[in-house]
Each structure stands twice: as structure tokens, then as C-alpha cells.
Amino acid sequence: MESDRDGCSSGGSCGPEVVSVKHLLKCKLSESLVQLACSHRHCAFPGNQNELWIWNTATDQPLCLLGHRHSISAISFGSKINPLLVCSASREYVIVWNLDECIQKGQEGLTPRGIVIGTVLGMVLHVRFSPDDQQVAVCAGNKIYMLSAKNEAILAELDGHLAPVTAAEFCTWEKSMLISVSEDRTFKVWDYSTGQLIYQSGVLTAFPLLSLLIDEENKQFITGCAEGQLWIFSLIPEHNYRCIARINLKREQEKFCNKVWKSGKEIGKGQNTSKLCKTNVRPEGSVETSLPILLIEHCDSIVCFHNEENVYSALKSSYFWIGSSTGLLIINLANFELEAFLSYKAYSDLGIQFAGLCALTRQAVNGKVLCLITSMFEDMIAVLEINVAALVRTQQSDFLPCGNKNSLSVIARLCATGHHCLGLAVRLVFSPPYCGLIKSVVHQFLYEVLCETVESLTDVQVGHIRCSLVIYQASHFVIEVTMLIKHDFPMVNPWCSLLANSPLCKGFKKNMKVPSSKTPRGKSRVEDQPLVFHNKIKSSGYTAAPRMTMFSANNAKKNEVSKWKISCKRKNKEYPLESYPPVKYDRGKSVTSKPTQICCIQYSGDGEMLACGLADKTVLIFNSSLTDTYSAFSGHAGAVNSVGWSHDNKWLVSASEDRTLRVWSVCNKEPALILGKEKFHKPVRFAQFYFIDAFILLSCGAEFHLLSFHLDTTKDDLKRYEQRSVCKLVQKFPVASTVEITSLSAVNDFYSYIVLAAGSNRALEVFDLNVGCSTAVIPEAHTRSVHQICQNKGSSFSTQQPEAYNLFMTTAAGDGIKLWDLRTLRCERRFEGHSSRCYPCGIAVSPCGRFIASGSDDKCAYLYEMHSSTFSHKLGGNADSVINVTFSPSSPQLTTATLDGKLQLFLP
């Protein structure tokens, strides 16, 4: 064995060093070699077939261990650092070496000796130490031998695979659990203390399974085959080893290279995007090669994936190395996408273009990891040092257009509540003898006084009153009283600064000046006052209020206040943020007498009503418990595509296939506003109120419209059929390179400029309506067109972290659910497990931001937790596909809608 050269591969680039070749060794390798090993500062590999070489990368001192007669086929380091053990296996011996003792004996001039723990076990393909280094799992042939690490003893023999076992891993949190994969294309779960088989999978693929890794953090394991396919299985007991995801690594690699090439950034040290893509694009007429997965290892440099310039991710992700014959890949197990790709061909100083074997250190030192690879066609071994931060930084793709330096973000300009809020704080100082008495009565007293004080205002509610006792001085106490007044009249937030030429200014200020058609307390008002010089006159009765009100008892104040208290106690409850998910079936309801598709459902902001748009051209409103029908609206000539509540819960907007839009008053069955077919050239797919009821957003064809409006439900006796409500087009926003907008989403609970649109071209586009243009495009967000965008809006009964409002979900048929971060425009997590291939099944996020619900083709609804990619609950009991789901904003309850027109309510 000889060292060919040492040094770094600069590659002629001025960028940061990505890969440095520490050592390039030429030695005769055995054809039976299948496993190399790397630890914190050591690399282990066979030299001259039967010699075990341990290379200390810190001191550059090699250590040669002799003891095998036949070629070494598998090597593994122990789980602990002190003492550091090494196990080497050949056809005739399995030997465990204590590295510290071997080094000491070498310094003393003695020959290091190991402990033979197994003899004549056959062709060994894999060895692995147990977490406590007391046992060694040896994969020899079709069997797995559990050997003692201290002496020669076979503790258990696991027999069940039909082909050679290629890898085995210990489960660290489950006692006596071992997982193995084999060339028979299955995996098995064992209890190695008793030798019993716990679980056996079916055949996963047509190619042998080569590699295996257990993810302790997420309680799952990953296995890869010789054709470039990755499977992720759950190890949570309730999940019964179900498959979480299947990843086509070849397809992800091609997609990643195309993404990097489009971003126009340099890739790696001394290579560019075109060169990287050329190494991965198959020329015309050439033979397609496989992508065997040789290694799966942890990547602990999570901090390297979010530099200081970017906003940190709202969700924690797990990253893993994937070693293949052509390069090293870093995969994100949250979104199942590649983060970086290191191609062997792209580094001229490496000298190895195709790897036969590879090994990586589990932990990084100063942001760098050690990599050991062997050449597939030559007797050559390379020891590499990879700068993970530099590798990822040079390949990060930025979808924001050039020149846009401001990061996008959803900022709650007002409190995320159902009403506008005013806060009052009072500090009352008392001496200690009176403090207890004052504190006990101050809450009730202030409530009564405040209700009487603000009774002259319109639609005002007294919210939370909090009293807290705080030590003020040595002889005094202070009671801090915080009062929250909720009101429904418009209020401009000073932080909500609109640009002078913003489209939102054209209708927003006008709507703010529109006087209310109702007077306070609902009393009549005399429009034409007689022109006299006296303060009081005897009226003829024609200009006065109706006579019937003259003799009513003057008890309106007490009744109003009492109703106020009841309404306040009901509406000011808080959403339980730590509640159990709504998974227990409570009741069901058929919306019509015959099967009718429920196209859309949505709760009102107060959680009291549920609106349903049906395929039979009607809109129904139910109470939240599905026990009563509030009202039914008819008038559309086509299926209702979408329904949306106003912020004050008084209006409902609906869009239909008949190319019309209608705004309904909840307490009146007649529409307050109708926009007919002459306004739209295509069906209106989506409509909602926007900017706290200042506008209406709707999508039609390949553009969406921003409309300003004023609703007036009063009737003129002479022109009773004339519509008094007015609506005006503010601006149209076209979505680039698409035929039709498939989904549209915006926030109405608080002031936000961001509008998200998805098109039939599979792209997502982000619009800033304050600027009045598109600010970012995410191409190929899914493999198919996105049929729903769901933003994390919270509700008036819950408060989330400010960063959480930047998260939104998208879903497409056959491509699962993706969770995106608006600040980075990256997919942060992917949710798979439900079936959505035949129908576009809807999704929803809970007000607390912890759960995601999804419909499915298999007549079930699925519930995901935000931090997990696999579903936590499967809700059955339906007779047809679940196509819509929605959470109540006021309480933890979930409502599902099916294709045959049935609603189901689920509670915790």
C-alpha cells in the first residue's frame, strides 16, 4: 500500500473549499469487501486484503493490525468512544480490537492482538455493535449471528431471510430489537434476546436492499436498494411499521440538478451548474445506469443549512447522507428533497469517478466530515474531508427574483382576533388590609361600569378583564387591571402603511368612509326635520318614528347588557392549545335527501355556523353542532365552487360554475350583491373577502380580480328589484404561464398584503398587493396542479407564534401535502399516507397550528401532526370519498364532507 498524494482540490476556483483529498492510497482490494468504517477521527479499511489499517486523521499515523488469513469483508467501529472498539470479519474469523490497547502495544514494540469472537461463520457481509458494545450482530449468509464482544460465544441465531443479509441495525430505544434487510428484498424485525421474529415485510422492490439506518429522533428507519429507491418506515408501535414515504433518488437528483442549473449559481469547488447537470443528464442513445444506495448515514450539521442571512426554519428537520456510486447526496427527511449533491466526476483531484464502497463519520468536526471511498474499477482508496456548510451554501437555490432583497413575510397587522381590539391598563394602589377585598370585587365592578359606559357605541363588546396582584412597595400593593374592548367599527392600524399607488388604497379608504345605513341601537331616525325656531313641536306623525315604539317599556338597557354578558362569555373563550386532536366521531348529517356532492365547506369566524356549497346549486348553513339548519340560499345555476365568510360573520360570498358571484346576508335569504355572467368570461373558481372585508378576491381563468364593494340591503318600494349594492373592479392580476388558476388563498382575519395563487402549470406564485405585482414564483411545486392552498391563519380564539403565520400548505392529486415557509419559499415538510388520486381532496390546518387534516379517496380522513410526516390518526366510517375537511376556529372539532353529501363531526 502506498500514498499517491496528499493535498486539497482547489480546482481553480476562488470559492470556499468543499472537498479536500487528505489521502489517496493505492492498495489491493478484495472483491469480497462490502463494508468500510469511519469514526470520529479514525478510518478503517483493509490493506492487501487481509490486513486491517486504522488511519488516525488527526496525527496521520496509520496502524496495521494482523490476525486474518483470508480477505477482510466487513469492518465496523463500536458505539462508544472510550474505549473505541473495532470489529473486522473475514470468512474464518470475526475479531474485536481495542484500539487504545493496540496503539499502546504498537508503541511498546509488541504485536497487537484482538479477541476472536466467531469462527467459520461463512461470507460476512455486515457487522454492527450493539449500543452498549456488549454484543455484535454478524450478517453471514442468510443468517444473523448475535455474538458476545468479549469472548467467543454465539448468543442467538436469527434465521428467516431467503437470501444473504446485507445490513442490520440495533434499535436504541427498544430493548432487544434488531432490524435487518436482505437481498430477498424484505426487512425483518427481531427480538434478538429470544431469537423471535416480530415482524416480516412483503417484497418491496425488484432489486436487493443494500443499506439500512435507524433514525432515533423520528423513530423510523430508512432502507435503500440497488436501483436508487429509498423507503422510510415508522417504528412507532401504533403505526405497525407502515411506510411513511418512498423516494426515487434518481428522479430527485435530476430535479435538484435542474433546479440548481436554473438558479444560475456555481456548484462546488471549481465546477459550475452546466457541468454538474452534464454529469447527470443521460445522453441520447446511451444506456441508463442504476444508482445503488451504498450508504445511509446521519448528517448532524443542521445549522449549516440556514445561514445567518436567512430566517431560520420554523420546523426542525433531519438530514442524512446518501452514498451512491456517482456521488454523495444530502437529503432532508422532512420534505424528502435533496439539499446538496457532491459528484465525484466534478472534482478532478479526486481521481475516483465511480465508487464501489463508501463510509462517513456520523459527527462533524468544525463543520467537516470524513469520507472514505473505494474505486469501483481500480485498487484505490481515498480519504476525503468535506466542508458541509460550503457544499450546501454553493448549491442553495433562491427562487426570489433578482433585485428583490426584502424577504416575504406574513405579519399580523392586527391581533389575530375576530374583532378589532383596544387595550386599557389601569394601576390601582391599595394598602394591604383592603387589597383582598378590592381584588375580589374589582372584576365584576369594572365589567358593569364598562358595559354602561360604552353602551352608546355600535357593536362593542367588553372582552377579557384580567386582575393581577403585584407587590408595589413595602407598604402598598398594586392591582393591574387589563381590559380588552372589542368593536366592529373600522379602525386603521398605523402599522398598516399602504403605498400611495397601492391597489389597496383605491378601495380601502373609500370603504372606510362609507357611513352605516343603520343607526345606533337600531332606532329610526327622522330624515326631514321641520324648519322651526322651537326646540319641541307637535308632530303630525308622518315624520315621526312608528307609534308602536312609544309605549314600549324602557328596559332595553338591562336586556342589552344581559345579552351582552352572555354573548361575551360565550365568544371570549380561548381555543385550548394543548387539547387532544378531534378524532372521536360525534354525529353525522346528510345535507340533502339524495346523494349530492359537497363542493366546499367553511366555518364562520366565531365558530357558530358552517357553510356548505353543494353541487345542486345551493348553499346551506348549519349550526356548529350539525343539529339544525340556519338557512338555505338558492339562485346559482351551477355547482357552488367556493364559499367564504366575512370577518364580521354577517355576509357570505359564493362562487359558482354559472360564472356568477353572489354575496348573501346571513339573516336574509336574498342576495345583497350579484355579479353576473357579463363580468366573467370563465367560471369563478374561488371567491373570498379580503383585507378585513374591504375587498373581494376571486379567480377567473388565468387571473384573479380585486374588487371593492359596498353592500346595501335596504329596499325601495318603487325599485324593489333594483340592486343597491355596488361593486367596482380595482385591478386584475394575471398569473404568468398558466391557463387557469387552480387555487387562491389570502388572509382576511388581519391585514396582510400577501396573496398566493396556484396555476395549471404546477407553479405557485406569490403576489404583494401593496406593490401590486407578483414577487416570487415557485415552479413545479407539485408533480400535478395544486388544487388547494391552505394558509395557517389561526383564529380569533387562539394565538400562535408570529413565525407560524408564514407557513402554508399545498396539495395536489397523487403528490401528498407540502408545508411551505413564505420567508424562504422552501418546502419544509411533506405529509404522505392518505390517498388522493381520483378526486381533489381538501386539507385544513387547526387554529392552534398543531394538526393538519386531509380528505382521502379511501373513505377516510387523515390527521397529521405538524412535526411528523406520517399521519397520527385515521378517521373512518364514511360511505364515500372524503373530499373536504375543516376545523372549527373556536373549539377543537373537525368536520368532514363526503362525495355523497354527508357531514361528520369529530371531537377530542
Q: Per residue in 748-783, pLDDT tens?
A: 998 999 999 999 999 999 999 999 999 999 999 999
- What was the pLDDT predicted at 717? 66
Q: For the full predicted model, state whether its pTM sits above 0.85.
A: no
Q: Average of pLDDT values for 437-460?
A: 44
Q: Average of pLDDT values for 330-356?
A: 88
- What was the pLDDT predicted at 22? 86
Q: Which residue has the higher pLDDT, 555 or 695?
A: 695
Q: Average of pLDDT values for 417-426?
A: 40
Q: Average of pLDDT values for 381-397?
A: 84
pLDDT grade for 863, boundaries at 50, 70 and 90: very high
pLDDT grade for 657, boundaries at 50, 70 and 90: very high
Q: Is the pLDDT of residue 486 over 50?
A: no
Cell triple for residue 564? 351582552
Percent of the chain, pLDDT > 70?
A: 75
pLDDT grade for 270, boundaries at 50, 70 and 90: very low
Q: Is the pLDDT of residue 721 over 90?
A: no
Judge contact between 897 and 613, C-beta under 8 A: no
For helices 556-571 and 432-453, give the axis angle rounded to 10 degrees. Answer: 110
Q: Is the pLDDT of residue 474 over 60?
A: no
Q: Is the pLDDT of residue 271 over 50?
A: no
Judge contact between 77 and 45, C-beta under 8 A: no
- What was the pLDDT predicted at 255? 87
- What was the pLDDT predicted at 264? 62
- The rounded distance, in Å, linking the Cα atoms of 464 and 423 is 10
pLDDT grade for 539, boundaries at 50, 70 and 90: very low
Q: Which residues of 770-809 are buried (b: 16+ CB within 10 A; e: fewer)?
A: bbbebbbbbeebbebbbbbbbbbbbbbbbbbeebbbbbbb
Judge contact between 785 and 771, C-beta under 8 A: no
- The rounded distance, in Å, linking the Cα atoms of 764 and 820 is 11
Q: Average of pLDDT values for 7-24?
A: 59
pLDDT grade for 134, boundaries at 50, 70 and 90: very high
The predicted-structure confidence for 571-593, as pLDDT tens digits, reads as follows: 447 888 888 999 999 999 999 98
Of 164-168, 210-214, 216-220, the range with the lowest mean pLDDT is 216-220
Of 38-47, 149-158, 389-398, 878-887, the range with the lowest mean pLDDT is 389-398
Q: Average of pLDDT values for 841-864?
A: 96
Largest CA distance in the chain: 126
Q: Is the pLDDT of residue 148 over 60?
A: yes
Average pLDDT over the chain, rounded to an integer: 80
Range with top average pLDDT, 45-54, 450-459, 633-642, 719-728: 633-642
The Cα-based distances of 711 to 336, 516, 661, 695, 721 in angstroms read: 48, 10, 14, 11, 15
